[in-house]
Amino acid sequence: MNLHGNESLLDILQMYPDLMIAGYEDLITGYNLRIDNCPMNADTRMLISGMLAKDILMIQVCDNTGVAKGTIGEGRVLDINMVPYVKGVEGYAEGDIEAFTSDRGIYGVGDVNMQYGNGNTDLYANASYRYEDVRRDHVMLHMTNRFGDRDRLITHFTQQYANSPSALIPSDNSDITEKYMGRFRYFHTFNDIGTELLLVGGYQYAQNETSQSSMPMYIVELNTPLVDKNLSFMLGTEGDFLTTNTLGSDMQYHVFNNDIYTQLTYALTRWRLSAGNRVMFYDYGIATSSHPKSPYYDTRDNANISAIFLPSASQQVQVAYYKKYYNPAYVMLFDGRHILSDDEWAITKGQLDEQNLNELKVAYAYSKNSLTLKAEGSYYAVEAGNNFGKIGVSGCWRLPMAVLNGGANLYTATNGSYATLRFATTLYLPKQWQVGLQGVYYSAYAPQRASTGVPVYGCVTVDKTFGKRLTMSVAWHDMFSQRGDGLSNQRFTVILRYRF
In a domain, 241, yes or no: no
Measured CA to CA, the distance from residue 363 to residue 377 in angstroms comes to 6
Is 435 inside any structural domain?
yes
Q: What are phi and psi of 154, to 5 degrees?
A: -110, 125
Question: Does residue 380 form part of some domain?
Answer: yes
Q: Which amino acid is at 112?
A: V
Over the chain (500 residues), the average pLDDT of each successive run of 10 is: 69 66 56 83 79 84 71 71 84 88 80 90 90 80 92 93 63 72 95 93 88 91 90 93 81 84 94 93 75 73 92 95 68 39 38 74 92 91 82 90 90 85 90 91 84 85 92 89 66 90
Q: Is the Cβ–Cβ distance between 127 and 135 less than 8 Å?
A: no
| pLDDT at 61 (0 to 100) | 78
Residues pairing with 199 in the sheet = 186, 220
Residue 219 lies in a domain: no
Say what the pLDDT of residue 320 is: 95
- Among 242, 213, 250, 208, smallest CA distance to 339 is for 250
Residue span of the structural domain in which 315 resides:
9-165+303-499
Q: Is there a domain that residue 237 lies in?
A: no
Question: Does any domain span residue 269?
Answer: no
Distance (Å, rounded) from C-alpha 363 to C-alpha 318?
A: 5
Q: Which pLDDT score, from 0 to 100, does residue 173 have?
A: 53
Q: What is the reported pLDDT for 346? A: 35
Distance of CA 55 to the CA centre of its chain: 19
Handedness of CA 338, 339, 343, 349 (dihedral sign): positive
Is the distance from CB of 257 to CB of 282 less than 8 angstroms? yes
Residues 235-245 have pLDDT tens digits of 999 998 988 88
| pLDDT for 336 | 36
Asked whether residue 330 is domain-assigned, the answer is yes
451-466 residue pLDDT tens: 778 888 888 999 999 9
Instruction: Give pLDDT tens digits for 236-290.
Output: 999 989 888 877 777 777 888 899 999 999 999 999 999 999 998 888 777 766 6
Helix then strand count (H, E) for the chain reads: 5, 26
Q: Is residue 493 part of a domain?
A: yes
What pLDDT was estimated at residue 333?
43
What letter would DSSP give residue 52? B
The domain tally of the chain equals: 1
In the sheet with 56-62, reading across from the earlier edge strand, the strands are 38-39, 31-35, 76-82, 56-62
At 442, which CATH number? 2.40.160
